[in-house]
Structure 1
Amino acid sequence: MRAVIVRRFGGPEVLEIADLPSPEPGPGQLRIRVAAAAVNRIDLSTRSGALTEAGLLPRGLPEVALGWDVAGQVDAVGAGVTRHRVGDRVIGLRDVLSAGGAQAEQVVLDAGAVAPAPASVPVELAAALPLIGLTADRSLTLTGLRAGETLLVTGAAGGVGGLLLQLAAPRGIRTVAVADAADEPYVRGLGADEFVARTDRLGTAVRRIVPGGVDAVVDAAVVGVAAHEALRGGGTFVALVAPFAPPPLRATRVLVQEVYADGARLAELAAGVDAGRLTLRLAGTLPLARVAEAHDRLAAGRLPGRLVLLPG
């Protein structure tokens, strides 16, 4: 089967489409014939060697596979798998960096990492849900916010930020969205109660809207301490990237969200897509062989949605 790998770290030129043996599912696992696989910023960090330098990926691996999100069809199951059958349309998340990647023609995942695919959207949109959906959901849970409390979301027009707004609104959480000025209509359509252009000095701008500061921040745009200045004393700051987490000034709690493959919660998020409570955006699709182009486009920024690879 074809799969995206790197044998050395560097720019997009180090990406290879390798011909690898088809993986076989072990007990409690299943194999997915991949129809679509999203490209994420963590793929860029894997390719460049940043994850290895940070100690998140073992050194000395002969090759490293890429791809976290997958949508496709189950084509083999291991012993003990009863919830999913061959032929089922599924989505899943690969969260073990040294395992086979989702940007391939086939991938093996633990059965607990997989959920039924949303039926109401094309497969390429379904592939965009797992990583950003589980990241947004866990980030919101870590804030501990209740109805009536306030949440600042940086990067509100992005994948994680947009889902955060949509998850917070039905819980009665008041949201302050930070994005480019041109994105204000879009994020308000996702449920944002207040808006601050990202060119503003965040602490000052947010405190004009929420005197004393917000109860929690989810820093989806990796703004860091500038976003922390908008947080009230004793509030909660959720960072998505550990090296950019600010110190816990003013008795605040600073937490780093670490996503993991939770198939049960992913199934609930997929149901939210089918019910129309959660929407996703697609920036485009590319064949697997053009993965380097996908990395270039993602690194350039300002994509209006997710980029997805189609192995077929």
Structure 2
Amino acid sequence: MDDRMMKAVLYDRYGGPDVLYVGRVPRPRPARGEVLVRVRAFSVNGGELSARSGRVRFLTGRKFPQRVGLDFTGEVAGLGAGVTDLAVGERVWGVLGRTSGFGSAAEYVTVPAVRVGRVPEGLDLVAAAALPVATTAVTALRDKAGLRAGERLLVRGAAGGVGNAAVQLGRAYGAQVTALARAANLDFVRGLGAHEAVDHRVMGPGELGRFDVVLDTVGTDLRRYRGLLAPDGRMVTIAFDTARPVASLGFILASAVHGRGRVRFFSGNPQRAELDALARLVEEKQLAPATDTVFPLEETAAAHRALEAGGVRGKFVVEVG
């Protein structure tokens, strides 16, 4: 077999999960300041579904084939020039940067050395793949919202990848956590540390009360959830309504200057410092990976299909055999 090539998950047109297939592409080589990572696992993220379906083709364009995979765990397999703070064989995790696009659904990936961190000792690399996107929850609650002990926190989409981490962190930070999830997942989010778990299909926003911090991972009905903010409340969203992107993003921008309670929108873009902070939270047992199902690389389409169906508990992870 040609060791200059590798397996990767690709698609040649926009569409449903069935457009995904495992093909062969050239194995990348690390440029200066980069590391080559032998990927052991990655997780499936909502942004990939939007990209693959074509809902955000104004961002992803029409050049094919395109790739999937945002985060990864694995071992360092090669070092680019100038990289002296990592060694071949070290266990690492990370998230591809905003300008890199997708591509971690592969046997190897190159990434700037500043975008990888060391996986905590004793943490299985497949289970660990559920955690890199948890850096988004850390940034949202700690940095964007400034969540304080004793405050009321509402987590929307609490059973998902970022949401489950936010519930755990909210409890660790001393907040009073209310988690919104499907009925079937209420016990799951209570087990993560939620003080109150609410079926979002039974109880609407108007019945939830007031909150100091609202963390939204869904992106729809942002105006209604912003209305739940107490005086001096803060709302952070990591998603927008892909069915109405212009109107949704317009509302987020307008909220910065109009109305009560600014909606802070951001996209996770972690570097070494954030990944090291994540490792400390795991080591201090304030955060643990929540893995729903592990799929083999050849069944990445099934993992996409499962996430689209909803009801995930934590993360769907794909193991690269």
Query: Which residue identity does 2:103 align to in structure 1?
Result: G
Which residue of 222, 230, 253 corresponds with 1:232? 230
> Normalising by structure 2, what TM-score?
0.87
- How far did residue 62 of structure 1 move? 3.2
Which residue of 186, 192, 195 corresponds with 1:193? 195
Query: Which residue identity does 1:227 align to in structure 2?
Result: Y
Report Cα offsets for 1:249-304 as digits up to 9, x if no partner: 74211111211032221122123223322122212222211111111111111122
Does 2:190 match 1:183? Answer: no
Residue of structure 1 equivalent to 2:31: 26
Residue correspondences, number:
303
Which residue of 272, 292, 302 corresponds with 2:301? 292
Task: Answer yes or no: is the 8 Å Cα contact 1:100–1:107 preserved in 2.
Answer: no
- How far did residue 123 of structure 1 move? 1.4
| Bigger shift: residues 88-97 or 223-232 | 223-232
Does 2:134 match 1:93? Answer: no
Which residue of 269, 275, 280 corresponds with 2:278? 269
- How far did residue 222 of structure 1 move? 3.2
Residue of structure 2 equivalent to 1:46: 51
Residue of structure 2 equivalent to 1:3: 8
**Separation in 2, partners of 1:171, 1:98:** 32
Residue of structure 1 equivalent to 2:239: 241
Structure 1's 129 and 199: CA in aligned 2 closer, same or farther, altered over 3 A?
same
Residue of structure 2 equivalent to 1:173: 175
Task: Mark the runs of 5 or more structure 2 residues left unpaired by the alignment.
Answer: 1-5
Task: Answer yes or no: is the 8 Å Cα contact 2:218–2:239 preserved in 1.
Answer: no
Report Cα offsets for 1:204-241 as digits up to 9, x if no partner: 3222xxxxx21221112334233223222552221111
**Separation in 2, partners of 1:48, 1:97:** 20
| Bigger shift: residues 253-262 or 21-30 | 253-262
**Separation in 1, partners of 2:198, 2:226:** 15
Task: Answer yes or no: is the 8 Å Cα contact 1:64–1:98 preserved in 2.
Answer: no
**Separation in 2, partners of 1:101, 1:51:** 17
Residue of structure 2 equivalent to 1:154: 156
**Separation in 2, partners of 1:202, 1:100:** 35
Structure 1's 16 and 180: CA in aligned 2 closer, same or farther, altered over 3 A?
closer
- How far did residue 144 of structure 1 move? 2.2
Query: Which residue identity does 1:88 align to in structure 2?
Result: E
Query: Which residue identity does 1:198 align to in structure 2?
Result: H
Structure 1's 156 and 8: CA in aligned 2 closer, same or farther, altered over 3 A?
same
| Bigger shift: residues 163-172 or 107-116 | 163-172
- How far did residue 182 of structure 1 move? 4.2
**Separation in 1, partners of 2:278, 2:220:** 27
**Separation in 1, partners of 2:11, 2:30:** 23
Which residue of 161, 164, 167 corresponds with 2:166? 164
Which residue of 214, 217, 220 corresponds with 1:217? 214
Could you say what secondary structure the match of 1:112 adopts? helix
Task: Answer yes or no: is the 8 Å Cα contact 1:160–1:220 preserved in 2.
Answer: yes
Task: Answer yes or no: is the 8 Å Cα contact 1:202–1:230 preserved in 2.
Answer: no
Structure 1's 163 and 143: CA in aligned 2 closer, same or farther, altered over 3 A?
same
Task: Answer yes or no: is the 8 Å Cα contact 2:126–2:317 preserved in 1.
Answer: yes
Does 2:298 match 1:281? Answer: no
Task: Answer yes or no: is the 8 Å Cα contact 1:288–1:310 preserved in 2.
Answer: yes
Percent identical residues: 36
Task: Mark the runs of 5 or more structure 1 residues left unpaired by the alignment.
Answer: 208-212
- How far did residue 125 of structure 1 move? 1.2
CA RMSD of aligned residues (A): 2.1
| Bigger shift: residues 258-267 or 174-183 | 174-183
Residue of structure 2 equivalent to 1:253: 262
> Normalising by structure 1, what TM-score?
0.89
- How far did residue 87 of structure 1 move? 0.5
Report Cα offsets for 1:36-67 as digits up to 9, x if no partner: 111112121121122323x3x3x242322110
Could you say what secondary structure the match of 2:56 adopts? helix
| Bigger shift: residues 28-37 or 214-223 | 214-223
Query: Which residue identity does 2:236 align to in structure 1?
Result: V
